[in-house]
Amino acid sequence: MSTFDAVMNSRKFQRLFPWIAGLVLVVGVVAALVILVPNTSGTSDKETLPAPNSPPVQKVQQTKLLKKLSPEARQTAGKFLLTAVVRENLDQAWPLAGPQVRQGMSYKDWLKGDIAVATFFGGIKKAPMSVDYATKNEALLEVLLVPKKTGKAYKPAVFYVKLNKIKQGKTHRWVVNEVTQRVGIPIPANLNN
């Protein structure tokens, strides 16, 4: 009996044979999938060249970010927070509200206070703003509202305010198109002091 026959007929090899065969099968299936299945991730090792006579590739124009928010945009956001968000003087908030906030409401319905704007209770003591981004026609602000009133029911909250510049006649003006409250992040209680 040869050495090969002795190894093939040994009990140890016969116990390991199904495992070895399974491993070889798995390696074979993976290799076949890598070779046969096309790359659908959108990336390639080789750069794809456009076909001859194809239209030229269009470049995406990047929006220029501004270093500072215009005073008009900041004033619009501040006045909107002091009126619509606290549900006071809603008549003053109406001209500052953009179409996404108004949602087709009439002025009369707007004055009832059931509007698409997050509410803040307790008045506003402080409202520091930070600019997430600003372009010449759009801005997103994060505003920390600290209530005037104290107590368990009145806590600071962070609001996002989205502004857009719209054309009105020959001029442009800023409007608030979205106000949402950020949830899930605790604000330190000592900000009321």
- Over residues 105-158, the pLDDT tens digits come to 999 999 999 998 989 988 999 999 999 999 989 999 999 999 999 888 888 999
Please state, in angstroms and rounded to a whole number, the distance separating the CA atoms of residues 93 and 78.
Answer: 10
Taking alpha carbons only, the member of 144, 168, 175 closest to residue 158 is 144
Please state, in angstroms and rounded to a whole number, the distance separating the CA atoms of residues 16 and 22.
Answer: 10
Does the predicted model carry a pTM greater than 0.95? Answer: no
Helix, strand and coil percent figures for the chain, each rounded to 5:
35, 20, 45
Please state, in angstroms and rounded to a whole number, the distance separating the CA atoms of residues 92 and 83.
Answer: 7
Find out whether 31 and 23 touch, Cβ atoms under 8 Å.
Answer: no
pLDDT tens sequence across 75-94:
999 999 999 999 999 999 99
Place of tokens 């009145």: 154
Phi, psi of 135 (to 5 degrees): -120, -175
Place of tokens 């501004």: 66
Task: Kindly report each contact of residues 158-161 with a partner whose C-beta sits within 8 Å and lies 24 or more positions away, as own/partner.
Answer: 158/182, 158/185, 158/187, 159/81, 159/85, 159/118, 159/120, 160/132, 161/77, 161/80, 161/81
